[in-house]
A and B are shown apart, each in its own frame.
Chain A
Amino acid sequence: MKKEQTALGLGARSDHRTVYVRLFGVLERYGVVLALVLLVSIAGALQPIFLRPSNVINVLRQVSITGILAIGMTFVILNCGIDLSVGSIVGLTGMLAIMFQPHGLVVSIGSALAVGTLVGVANGYGVANGIVPFIMTLASLTAVRGIAFMVSDGRPVMGASDAYAWIGGGYVVGIPVPVLILGLILFAAYFILERTTFGRSVYAVGGNEEAARLAGINLTRNRICVYGISGLLSGLAGVVLTARMTSCDPAVGILFELDAIAATVIGGTSMFGGEGKVTRTVIGALIMGVLANVMNLMNISPYPQQVVKGLIILWAVLMDKFKQR
């Protein structure tokens, strides 16, 4: 169904109308924040333990991986694409990071980020040349996972240097390093999307590819950058994850892409591209994290937990539909 064309802006402007529009806008903008606040309040009421600083920090740390991946996913979905390969990239880059430890921190982290970016760039190049994002990244998901098993002979790799383990387990002024990294990435992503010409072109290409092209935006470069960012952040997530576990298994990261997509959708980013905010994506990831934590605290078994997660995703999509009206 085509979007309706209203005659907004016709006729005289009056103050109360503007107020209506603003009110609607506020709900649209902060609905997901309200949902999180509500959820946290309920959680705190049901399980007072939940609000303890140690638990809150724990939740944040658990959310950091999904959060980093979801930020990359937001770039892709805003661009009207999808990146299914992020979980496989986490597996491969995590593997590489652990394996290259003996060569020093720079080599090990650098190779993980470089390989992640490379896979992303390949995805972007394929998409720019007309391969449907779903298929292109499905191919990567499969192939990259295979490479992860190849480089490790299918065996887990253990051990991490102190410096490496600090990335996963350390603190800076009481904040866990992974959470700090998530915060920095969020800040950078927010700045890029909101305040740079590249960020605006990400929205424009996602909203209307042809109009963006006719406005002089280079679609190939745009796609390569967008998927490259998702790949880079997947590599970073691989590093953080293995640093936390101080080991890596080639099967690590399976289905992570789905959590990243879920966080993005719960955050209100439109699957049709062009609409959404990266800050809300992280809130989406927090909603999922808080929910999982509370249910764990309440000793709810993992099976119903999955059902609840599914319902939350459905709810988010329905909200999106409602908003489109």
Chain B
Amino acid sequence: MTDANMLLEMKSINKSFSGVPVLKQVNFSVREGEVHALIGENGAGKSTLIKILSGAYTRDSGDILLRGKEVHVSHPLDAQRLGISVIYQEFSLVPQLNGAENIFLGRWPEKPKGWVDWGKLVDEAAHILRQMNVSIDMTVPVRTLSVAHRQMIEIARALSFHAKIIVMDEPTSSLTDKEIDTLFQLIRELKRQGVTIIYISHRLDESFGIADRVTVMKDGMITGVSDVSGVIKSTLIRLMVGRDIQDLYPRRTSKVGELILEVKHLTRKGVVQDVSFSIRAGEILGFAGLVGAGRTETMRAIFGADRLDSGEIYVRGKMVRINSPADAIKARIALAPEDRRSQGLVTCLTVAENITLANMSSVSRGYGVISRKLDREKAEQYIHDLDIRTLGPQQRVRNLSGGNQQKVVLAKLLNTKADLFIFDEPTRGIDVGSKAEIYQLMGRLAEAGAGVIMVSCELPEILGMSDRIFVMHGGRIVAEVLPNEATEEKILTYAVGGASE
């Protein structure tokens, strides 16, 4: 059944990796000139589908039709030729070159004898930016630009190829609210000019704000297609996760015990200013604030990952010097870093090796010799306890989905036998199901008498999980609020530096 309105159709697409199917008979179609949201949890297969569209992966079977005609896409250049451009989460700009040079990378206009025609290059870049109705300094290296501006340059590059279909993969994941507004304006502008947009996201609200139609994926299959008007959010959530999400945040009955950690006047020049707070056993502290407010830096300093310029750290009443992560682990402090791929995991190692990495003596019977039996048992125990979906302890971590990778990080933390757990953005880029499990785990840790600190940009989870909330701004703690008297607005006011206690 071919619909005349359909610009792009992907039919019966199948794809497996190492024998494991990740796309099963996927039918995905997009109308000309619409903004089409493709939503689903992480690991649902959205990115794989798009990489097939862009020629980055080859499909095992299925057809791709453009305006009803079958097309061959087996290389990114094929997609480019057909007017399909993908803007990935990780940008493909050359950081040292400026915007104009990046937009026309590899296609700089030439004068005779091979000299670059710089004037023409700048003119054409400016022309595209005018078309997009944005203004960005095109004379500075793109590494000095904000993430939002770099994204604009990616989009400009797509337009320079006369792209008819622009795919944006989680375009808002590192943008501020204001930047998201600008992006949405641009998307509307592009739509007005007849460009078709495929918008991939796992954030529902956002997709609602911008899309005309929405396709939901789950476990490698399409579970629903609908116009955005006339669909209810809860229906989509059910299609995404296959169940209703209630009680996302666990109810806890933990009693607050002895003081676990107290920090006084922590200062790290330029990023952390005179930060003092304390946490008791059984407590969950939430740290809210904008990106760059100094929350991550504070936690890294406590954990010994970055040097402190001054300040004191007391663990269970005793002053300790923490000069390295090793010292922190000895003081029974554990940190789940902000970026699990670059800081939390050694992705080329196995699940078992990662789980035991921060406490290898837990699988050793002495002399630094690892017991294979203990190693396997430890890993299997955590795989079971945290419900990590893996082929086994010997599977490499890079082959796991985002949520399961984060669980491996958490298993590694648990295995350090810490009693203070610091989670930095523990649910970023993770599907709703895994999120709920991570909240449960944090709740259980607090109930078992550990102290838990959660740094997060997502206010609902800060409000839902915390016993006390600290708001940071400009490297300082500007407010401490209790969740029952806090609202998202109130926290945001503090976070932008609008008021202080």
Does B associate with A?
yes
Which of B6-14, B195-203, B339-347 contacts its partner?
B339-347
User: B360: CB under 8 A from chain A?
Assistant: yes
- Per-residue CB contact flags for chain B residues 244-258 toward chain A (1 = under 8 Å, else 0) read 000000000000000
Could you say which of B44, B328, B357, B372 has the most chain A C-beta atoms within 10 Å of its C-beta?
B357
Contact of A11 among B219, B346, B364, B390 (CB under 8 A): B219
Whether the Cβ atoms of A210 and B401 lie closer than 8 Å is no
| Alpha-carbon distance A200/B412, docked complex (angstroms) | 15
User: A321: CB under 8 A from chain B?
Assistant: no
Whether the Cβ atoms of A18 and B391 lie closer than 8 Å is yes
Whether the Cβ atoms of A8 and B326 lie closer than 8 Å is no
Task: Give B360-392 interface residues, CB cut-off 8 Å to A.
Answer: 360-361, 364, 368-370, 372, 389-391
What are the residues of chain B within 8 A of A195 when measuring CB–CB?
Answer: 369-370, 372
What are the residues of chain A within 8 A of B219 when measuring CB–CB?
Answer: 10-11
Whether the Cβ atoms of B389 and A10 lie closer than 8 Å is yes
Chain B residue with Cβ nearest A212: B346
Which of A57-65, A108-116, A215-223, A230-238 contacts its partner?
A215-223
Whether the Cβ atoms of B19 and A207 lie closer than 8 Å is no
User: A7: CB under 8 A from chain B?
Assistant: yes
Contact of B220 among A10, A201, A207 (CB under 8 A): A10
User: Number of A residues contacting the other chain (C-beta, 8 Å)?
Assistant: 40
Contact of B390 among A2, A9, A19, A274 (CB under 8 A): A9
Report the minimum CB–CB distance from A112 to chain B (whole Å): 27
| Alpha-carbon distance A16/B18, docked complex (angstroms) | 11
- Per-residue CB contact flags for chain B residues 328-339 toward chain A (1 = under 8 Å, else 0) read 111000010100
| Alpha-carbon distance A196/B395, docked complex (angstroms) | 20
Pairs across A and B, CB under 8 Å, 27 listed: A4-B17, A5-B47, A6-B18, A6-B22, A6-B48, A8-B18, A8-B390, A8-B395, A9-B389, A9-B401, A10-B20, A10-B219, A11-B21, A17-B20, A24-B19, A195-B369, A196-B368, A197-B364, A197-B368, A200-B353, A200-B370, A203-B348, A211-B345, A213-B325, A215-B358, A215-B412, A216-B359
Whether the Cβ atoms of B402 and A275 lie closer than 8 Å is no
User: A214: CB under 8 A from chain B?
Assistant: yes
| Alpha-carbon distance A20/B219, docked complex (angstroms) | 20
Whether the Cβ atoms of A5 and B361 lie closer than 8 Å is no
| Alpha-carbon distance A6/B399, docked complex (angstroms) | 6
User: B207: CB under 8 A from chain A?
Assistant: no
Whether the Cβ atoms of A3 and B347 lie closer than 8 Å is yes
- Per-residue CB contact flags for chain A residues 16-50 toward chain B (1 = under 8 Å, else 0) read 11111100100000000000000000000000000
| Alpha-carbon distance A196/B372, docked complex (angstroms) | 10
Whether the Cβ atoms of A197 and B361 lie closer than 8 Å is yes
Task: Give B1-37 interface residues, CB cut-off 8 Å to A.
Answer: 17-22
What are the residues of chain B within 8 A of A10 when measuring CB–CB?
Answer: 20, 22, 43, 219-220, 389, 401
Given A5-B401, A218-B326, A274-B349, A21 and B19 touching (CB < 8 A)?
yes
Whether the Cβ atoms of B20 and A7 lie closer than 8 Å is yes
What are the residues of chain B within 8 A of A3 when measuring CB–CB?
Answer: 347, 398
| Alpha-carbon distance A204/B354, docked complex (angstroms) | 9
- Per-residue CB contact flags for chain A residues 294-313 toward chain B (1 = under 8 Å, else 0) read 00000000000000000000
Whether the Cβ atoms of A214 and B343 lie closer than 8 Å is yes
Chain B residue with Cβ nearest A196: B368
| Alpha-carbon distance A9/B19, docked complex (angstroms) | 11
Whether the Cβ atoms of A7 and B347 lie closer than 8 Å is no
| Alpha-carbon distance A223/B294, docked complex (angstroms) | 31
User: A208: CB under 8 A from chain B?
Assistant: yes
Band of interface residues on B: 35 or more
User: B90: CB under 8 A from chain A?
Assistant: yes
Given A204-B357, A214-B325, A8 and B400 touching (CB < 8 A)?
yes
| Alpha-carbon distance A7/B405, docked complex (angstroms) | 11
Given A21-B18, A213-B325, A7 and B48 touching (CB < 8 A)?
yes
What are the residues of chain A within 8 A of B344 when measuring CB–CB?
Answer: 211, 214
Whether the Cβ atoms of B90 and A217 lie closer than 8 Å is no
Chain A residue with Cβ nearest B305: A214
Whether the Cβ atoms of A275 and B348 lie closer than 8 Å is yes
Report the minimum CB–CB distance from B416 to chain A (whole Å): 8
| Alpha-carbon distance A21/B346, docked complex (angstroms) | 21
User: B404: CB under 8 A from chain A?
Assistant: yes
What are the residues of chain A within 8 A of B369 when measuring CB–CB?
Answer: 195-197
- Per-residue CB contact flags for chain B residues 233-277 toward chain A (1 = under 8 Å, else 0) read 000000000000000000000000000000000000000000000
What are the residues of chain B within 8 A of A11 when measuring CB–CB?
Answer: 20-21, 219-220
Whether the Cβ atoms of A7 and B337 lie closer than 8 Å is no
Report the minimum CB–CB distance from A129 to chain B (whole Å): 15
Report the minimum CB–CB distance from B155 to chain A (whole Å): 20
Chain B residue with Cβ nearest A274: B348
User: B451: CB under 8 A from chain A?
Assistant: no
- Per-residue CB contact flags for chain B residues 138-180 toward chain A (1 = under 8 Å, else 0) read 0000000000000000000000000000000000000000000
Given A196-B369, A197-B370, A8 and B20 touching (CB < 8 A)?
yes
User: B324: CB under 8 A from chain A?
Assistant: yes
User: B45: CB under 8 A from chain A?
Assistant: yes
Report the minimum CB–CB distance from B420 to chain A (whole Å): 15
Whether the Cβ atoms of B353 and A204 lie closer than 8 Å is yes
What are the residues of chain B within 8 A of A103 when measuring CB–CB?
Answer: none
| Alpha-carbon distance A270/B21, docked complex (angstroms) | 28
Whether the Cβ atoms of B391 and A21 lie closer than 8 Å is yes
Given A213-B305, A214-B325, A201 and B347 touching (CB < 8 A)?
no
Given A203-B353, A211-B342, A215-B412, A7 and B19 touching (CB < 8 A)?
no
Given A9-B395, A197-B368, A203 and B346 touching (CB < 8 A)?
yes
| Alpha-carbon distance A217/B328, docked complex (angstroms) | 12
Could you say which of A6, A207, A215, A216 has the most chain B C-beta atoms within 10 Å of its C-beta?
A215
What are the residues of chain A within 8 A of B353 when measuring CB–CB?
Answer: 200, 203-204
Chain A residue with Cβ nearest B361: A197
User: A166: CB under 8 A from chain B?
Assistant: no
Given A10-B401, A16-B19, A216-B326, A208 and B47 touching (CB < 8 A)?
no
Whether the Cβ atoms of B349 and A9 lie closer than 8 Å is no
The 4 A-B pairs at the shortest CB distance, nearest first, are namely A20-B19, A207-B346, A6-B17, A197-B360
Given A213-B325, A215-B325, A204 and B395 touching (CB < 8 A)?
no
What are the residues of chain B within 8 A of A217 when measuring CB–CB?
Answer: 326, 357
Task: Give B52-110 interface residues, CB cut-off 8 Å to A.
Answer: 57, 90
User: A149: CB under 8 A from chain B?
Assistant: no
Report the minimum CB–CB distance from A260 to chain B (whole Å): 22
What are the residues of chain A within 8 A of B335 when measuring CB–CB?
Answer: 214
What are the residues of chain A within 8 A of B326 when measuring CB–CB?
Answer: 216-218
What are the residues of chain B within 8 A of A100 when measuring CB–CB?
Answer: none
| Alpha-carbon distance A56/B118, docked complex (angstroms) | 65
Given A7-B20, A7-B220, A195-B369, A207 and B348 touching (CB < 8 A)?
yes
Chain B residue with Cβ nearest A208: B346
User: A190: CB under 8 A from chain B?
Assistant: no
Whether the Cβ atoms of B400 and A207 lie closer than 8 Å is no
Whether the Cβ atoms of A200 and B360 lie closer than 8 Å is yes
| Alpha-carbon distance A130/B201, docked complex (angstroms) | 39
Contact of A207 among B347, B360, B401 (CB under 8 A): B347
